[in-house]
Structure 1
Amino acid sequence: MPLGTQWLGTIGKAPQFMMELYDEVAESNGTEKITKALEGNIVRSFQGQSSGSYHFFNLTSFGQDERVIKAEFRWFRHMQPFVGRHHFYKVDLYEVLDNRAKPWRGNFLCSRLVPVYTNGWEVFNITQMVTKWILDSGTNNGILIVTALPSGNWLEANTQVDGQSDKKNAYLVIYSDDGRKQFQNPPFYKGTLNSHPFHESIESFVTSTERRRRSVRSLTSTCQRRNLFVDFTKIGWSGWIISPRGYNAYSCVGSCPFPLGEGLRATNHATVRSIMNALKLSQEAGKPCCVPDVLYPISLLYFDDEENVVLKQYDDMVAGSCGCH
């Protein structure tokens, strides 16, 4: 979902594992933690439609320009106390090949033994199958979970929690990357015109101008970074953004007076333009402006239009530093 889109539905509750993933990769204000655990820059959790052991996930909201890195089927297993003397039961995972066929046809994916008397999430890697589904949506007929005793006899798995059906016991989670640029360390301007012989040729002009403008500069604020807190509730985005509730985007304000000192992080282009403006050599050579020269990303946890929960890194959301450009 691009920023600016408002999701007008009733906000639901995000899966706990998505909340924990957000906490693992981002601070409370959305800025990334130093230890980055996120694979790619987007994670989507699809709740899908479930009917007993059959689960279907609509993947139409997945971007066609994205590359699948990993796909997981997360299934919550409940205690199965009525299986005699067995301590384990078997879980088989199938790709449904034709959900219209009776009996159904399935492609066996994997199997594992799980304890009878414990609850917990089982995570199955189904990257290859989901990649195929995305490339050809006609092959997407869902997933079937079959539980059986070690002897091979099928078992009707218990899906009750406190006497009520658990409708959120299965999720499809896709880690992907849309190819956008990732954050890099802040650039350092080396070899600028301040150390170029061209600068020496106008040194006397700079010195005299600096003397005349020193008193004026003290009255005005030079280019610097200031706080700019964005409250998602106030701009009408709280209906779809789960976390963070807001963040400090910062803003760049102030003047870029001639001559541009090193503390103003001026580019070569800004230095030349500043000189031409001061010498009145061109009407088009306006004064440099105070703008962000380093931008940081933040991570957002939100509901998309299909009510799936998405964790996505958005680039260029925070002004890391300011300079004269």
Structure 2
Amino acid sequence: MMMFVISFAALVCAAAARSSLNYLENQFTAESESEDVRSAAIKRLLEVFGMEDPPAIHGHKQPPQYMLDLYNTVADVDGVTKDPYLLEGNTVRSFFDKLRSEQVEYRFNLSTVARTEKILTAELHLFKLRPQANLTFHRHHLCQVSVYQLLGSSRNDTTQGKRLLSSRLIPVHSSGWEVFTITQAVRSWMVDEGSNQGLHVVVQTLGGSQVDMKMIRFASGRNHHQSKQPMLVLFTDDGRRSATLESTDPNNTTATSSLPQAPMSNPSSRSARSLGYGEEEGVSSACQRLPLYVDFEEIGWSGWIVSPRGYNAYRCKGSCPLPLCKNTRPTNHATVQSIINSLKPMKDIETPCCVPDKFSSINLLYIDDGGNAVLKQYNDMVAESCGCQ
């Protein structure tokens, strides 16, 4: 009898152990499947943003003030585009000088730019410093600054070793940013990466003689704050097109005319976002637009996305019953389908669906794998309105 009791207890313990083991296995399987679904979803979301993997960022990277100003000029607090014609192309990249020398030579690493991107405009941004205070007043009020593309590794050949890209007059005693167009050089570097020998800046008097570099000084990457370092700004188009952009009126006179201007205010309160008409949950079962907030911090992308912290993509929900009201902006096809559905001559005819019928783009300011600031515009990311279709 005692042996029977012991055997029965052992069977009960074994069954309990198996039950616990099965529970743990099922729990682990469920968690594993949930993690797989999350990973797949995030990977698909990365594809929407044109990436295979999130950028690997080491330490805190602060984008140049120019890129922050540019973002605030083209986008609102949620990153939604203010005007699709405000930005040239759909991608803007900034690069700091890699030579970090005190001389007037600069080189930029463009390895993070895809070969498929179309180079629209390339600009060299140099911060001109004021002349040293102990220098006597110079008899020339203007000087000529020329930017050359270096064509070979030798700097001695002044005729064959470089090509003029941009040249203009600037005041000797001024200070601030000076911008030179160098598109031709960058296009040649994208065709042949090995041809990127850098840029050379020459400063001369109006008579063509060399200017004392103590008189005309540009901030360098070695001795000056990042806010004044030499920078290459690249405007490109990655080839994506949007029907939304093509249908937008290009003659809209309310668009801002220049990029960028003064930094714009950037309130961060989500409570300031307007949901528009009839967008509160439960107001009506009719087709309407409802909030759908995408939180980049929750996804785990806050480490490389500078702005925005998230955005309201919105969603469409509700029924499209007959008769279709004008507020739902039904298409003629949706109206016919709704009528046929009400007559029920065919069993498989369903009512029209509540879907987005107008979209707008958003802008992301982020840091790429090379530590460069990138401003990218993504089309058809926000449902502006809903309709029955």
Query: Same-fold call, TM > 0.5?
Result: yes
Report the aligned-residue RMSD: 3.2
Partner amino acid for 2:238? D
Question: What is the alpha-carbon distance in structure 1 between the residues aligned to residue 120 and residue 55 of structure 2?
Answer: 27
TM-score, normalization by structure 2: 0.65
Matched, 1:133 2:189: yes
Number of the residue aligned with 1:197: none
Number of the residue aligned with 2:213: 155
Number of the residue aligned with 1:299: 363
Asked if 2 retains the 8 angstrom alpha-carbon contact of 1:288 and 1:324, the reply is yes
Asked if 2 retains the 8 angstrom alpha-carbon contact of 1:29 and 1:246, the reply is yes
Question: What is the alpha-carbon distance in structure 2 between the residues aligned to residue 124 and residue 185 of structure 1?
Answer: 32
Question: What is the alpha-carbon distance in structure 1 between the residues aligned to residue 332 and residue 311 of structure 2?
Answer: 32
Matched, 1:77 2:128: yes
For the pair shown, which has the larger CA radius of gyration, 1 or 2?
2
1:55 to 91, 98, 106: 106
| Cα deviation, residue 95, structure 1 | 0.6
| Cα deviation, residue 36, structure 1 | 4.8
Percent of aligned pairs with the same residue?
43
Matched, 1:93 2:160: no
Number of the residue aligned with 1:251: 315
| Cα deviation, residue 153, structure 1 | 5.2
Give aligned pairs, total: 292
Number of the residue aligned with 2:43: none
Number of the residue aligned with 1:239: 303
Number of the residue aligned with 1:145: 201
| Cα deviation, residue 316, structure 1 | 0.9
Partner amino acid for 2:358? V
Matched, 1:29 2:52: no
Number of the residue aligned with 1:103: 156
Asked if 2 retains the 8 angstrom alpha-carbon contact of 1:32 and 1:299, the reply is yes
Question: What is the alpha-carbon distance in structure 1 between the residues aligned to residue 170 and residue 295 of structure 2?
Answer: 45
Where 2:99 maps in the other structure, the secondary structure is strand
Question: What is the alpha-carbon distance in structure 2 between the residues aligned to residue 219 and residue 91 of structure 1?
Answer: 64
Where 1:256 maps in the other structure, the secondary structure is coil
Counterparts in 2 of 1:279-298, with a 5 A limit?
279-298=343-362
TM-aligned CA distance change 1:160 to 1:71, over 3 Å: closer
Number of the residue aligned with 2:233: 173
Question: What is the alpha-carbon distance in structure 2 between the residues aligned to residue 116 and residue 50 of structure 1?
Answer: 25
Please state which structure has a larger fraction of its residues in helix. 2
Where 2:299 maps in the other structure, the secondary structure is coil
Structure 1 stretch displaced more, 148-157 or 259-268: 148-157
| Cα deviation, residue 244, structure 1 | 1.9
Asked if 2 retains the 8 angstrom alpha-carbon contact of 1:220 and 1:255, the reply is no
Asked if 2 retains the 8 angstrom alpha-carbon contact of 1:6 and 1:239, the reply is no
| Cα deviation, residue 235, structure 1 | 2.1
Matched, 1:17 2:71: no
Please state which structure has a larger fraction of its residues in strand. 1
1:8 to 56, 64, 70: 56
Asked if 1 retains the 8 angstrom alpha-carbon contact of 2:128 and 2:219, the reply is no
